């Protein structure tokens, strides 16, 4: 049953599945020493800058946690949004593997510079964990996007305070559709140090990439991060099957095609549900997520035909996600069903 539960629920994009089949036609060296990895890394360098160092891992938790492990010492901490995936949905892995999380109040998923400044406390106090990283989610858990100006000012402030900036970019490509910019303009050019670049939510079968962008961190990454990855059991033996997908994803603007489709249909979904009485939009639509409150009695029956998640059990705020394989007819069917409930319940 297709629905709006998550872009994780979608299958593998046909072009990316084809890349796996093609990579399966011959032998190749292991552990990232293959031609597929070289070509994928070259694509990342084209998009993020020639200095970029790339480390492939299996999943998003690893890309986030190992990025922070690389950037922090055990006595240090990470400032992150109170609703971030890092804080709520990593089962404590960031603090188990890396550093303490300090949560910052968010508005529509985003942290403001003023709240970040308030959260930076007791610098130099040996009794208190020392903040070392600001972790942004782009787009946020509520589907909103930091503007380029917001990212720049946070990076400038963080660097002035001796901190680094990490981006959880599980759906980073979708932010391009709102900000109308390139990857480099959204990250490297603004001073972002490390990015967890997502693949699985964007049509890949599996695989994420840690991107070290800051030139002064590249040498350290070459010496340190590859060992952290291995020790954490995240060094893929047959790396080519992750790399070949990223090579295809970043070629011929396939990444934009997937993002534009997901976000365009999210806008169609947004426009449809907001016209239904008793259904209320709760957040701006800036990526492939639509957040709405739906009357509780409707939810069980709606989910029988179109699965989705109730985000907040207290208010019955629901998250509706589109993906590369969402169709206009599925959105029309869901919206029409909502209208039927609105007219009869």
**106 inside domain:** yes
**4 inside domain:** no
- The confidence band for 249, taking pLDDT boundaries of 50, 70 and 90, is very high
Q: What is the pLDDT of residue 315?
A: 94
As a whole-number percent, the residues of the chain with pLDDT over 70 amount to 100
259 shares a domain with 245: no
Q: What residue ranges in 250-298 does DSSP mark as E strands?
A: 280-281, 289-293
100 shares a domain with 119: yes
**7 inside domain:** no
The domain boundary, picked from 249, 269, 293, lies at: 249
Residue 270 has pLDDT above 90, yes or no: yes
**6 inside domain:** no
The domain boundary, picked from 249, 273, 301, lies at: 249
Residue 1 has pLDDT above 90, yes or no: no
**3 inside domain:** no
Tally DSSP H helices, then E strands, for the chain: 14, 11
Mean pLDDT of 83-106: 95
CA 40 – CA 29 distance, rounded (Å) = 15
Helix axis angle for 240-249 and 35-48, nearest 10°, is: 40
Q: What is the pLDDT of residue 101?
A: 97
Residue 345 has pLDDT above 70, yes or no: no
As a whole-number percent, the residues of the chain with pLDDT over 90 amount to 98
Residue 89 has pLDDT above 70, yes or no: yes
Domain span at residue 304 reads: 254-344
Residue 162 burial (CB < 10 Å; 0-12/13-18/19+)?
A: exposed
pLDDT tens for residues 38-78? Answer: 999 999 999 999 999 999 999 999 999 999 999 999 999 99
Q: What length is written for the chain? A: 345
- The confidence band for 93, taking pLDDT boundaries of 50, 70 and 90, is very high
Instruction: Report whether 230 contacts 245 (CB < 8 A).
Output: no
164 shares a domain with 289: no
CA 314 – CA 131 distance, rounded (Å) = 33
**9 inside domain:** no
**1 inside domain:** no
The answer, yes or no, to whether the previous bond of 13 is cis (omega within 30 of 0) is no
260 shares a domain with 328: yes
SS3 337: helix
Mean pLDDT of 148-154: 98
309 shares a domain with 245: no
Q: What is the pLDDT of residue 343?
A: 87
**121 inside domain:** yes
On average, the pLDDT of the chain sits at 96
Instruction: Report whether 176 contacts 183 (CB < 8 A).
Output: yes
Neighbours of 180 (CB within 10 A): 8
How far is residue 147 from each of residues 58, 152, 289, measured CA to CA in Å?
29, 9, 17
187 shares a domain with 66: yes
63 shares a domain with 208: yes
pLDDT tens for residues 271-324? Answer: 999 999 999 999 999 999 999 999 999 999 999 999 999 999 999 999 999 999
Q: How many domains does the chain have?
A: 2
The domain boundary, picked from 218, 249, 280, lies at: 249
Q: Which residue has the tokens 């259904």?
A: 279
Q: What is the pLDDT of residue 304?
A: 93
266 shares a domain with 153: no
Q: Give me the CATH number covering residue 283.
A: 3.90.1150.10
53 shares a domain with 129: yes
Judged by average pLDDT, the poorest of 124-128, 203-207, 216-220 is 124-128
Q: What is the pLDDT of residue 107?
A: 93
177 shares a domain with 311: no
284 shares a domain with 214: no
155 shares a domain with 204: yes
Q: Give me the CATH number covering residue 209.
A: 3.40.640.10
Mean pLDDT of 163-186: 97
């Amino acid at each position: 049953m297709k629905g709006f539960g998550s872009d994780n629920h979608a299958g593998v994009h046909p072009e990316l599945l084809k890349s796996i089949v093609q990579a399966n036609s011959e032998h190749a060296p292991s552990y990232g020493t293959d031609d597929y990895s070289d070509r994928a890394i070259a694509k990342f360098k084209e998009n993020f800058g020639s200095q970029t160092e790339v480390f492939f891992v299996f999943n998003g938790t690893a890309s986030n946690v190992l990025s922070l492990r690389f950037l922090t010492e055990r006595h240090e901490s990470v400032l992150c949004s109170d609703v971030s995936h890092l804080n709520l949905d990593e089962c404590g892995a960031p603090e188990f593997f890396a550093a303490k999380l300090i949560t910052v109040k968010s508005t529509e998923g985003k942290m403001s510079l003023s709240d970040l400044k308030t959260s930076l406390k007791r610098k130099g106090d040996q009794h208190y964990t020392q903040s070392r990283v600001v972790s942004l989610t782009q787009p946020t858990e509520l589907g909103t996007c930091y503007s380029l100006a917001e990212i720049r000012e946070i990076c400038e402030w963080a660097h002035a305070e001796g901190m680094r900036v990490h981006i959880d970019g599980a759906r980073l490509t979708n932010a391009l559709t709102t900000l109308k910019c390139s990857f480099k303009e959204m990250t490297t050019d603004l001073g972002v140090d490390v990015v967890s670049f997502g693949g699985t939510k964007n049509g890949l079968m599996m695989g994420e990439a840690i991107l070290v962008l800051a030139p002064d961190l590249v040498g350290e990454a070459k010496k340190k991060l590859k060992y952290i990855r291995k020790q954490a059991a995240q060094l893929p033996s047959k790396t080519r099957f992750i790399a070949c997908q990223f090579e295809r994803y970043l070629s011929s603007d396939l990444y934009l095609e997937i993002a534009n489709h997901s976000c365009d249909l999210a806008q169609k979904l947004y426009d449809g549900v907001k016209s239904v009485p008793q259904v209320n939009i709760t957040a701006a639509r800036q990526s492939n997520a639509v957040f709405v409150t739906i009357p509780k009695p409707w939810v069980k029956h709606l989910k029988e035909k179109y699965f989705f998640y109730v985000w907040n059990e207290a208010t019955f705020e629901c998250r509706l996600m589109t993906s590369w394989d969402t169709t206009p007819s599925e959105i029309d069917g869901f919206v029409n069903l909502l209208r039927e409930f609105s007219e009869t319940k």
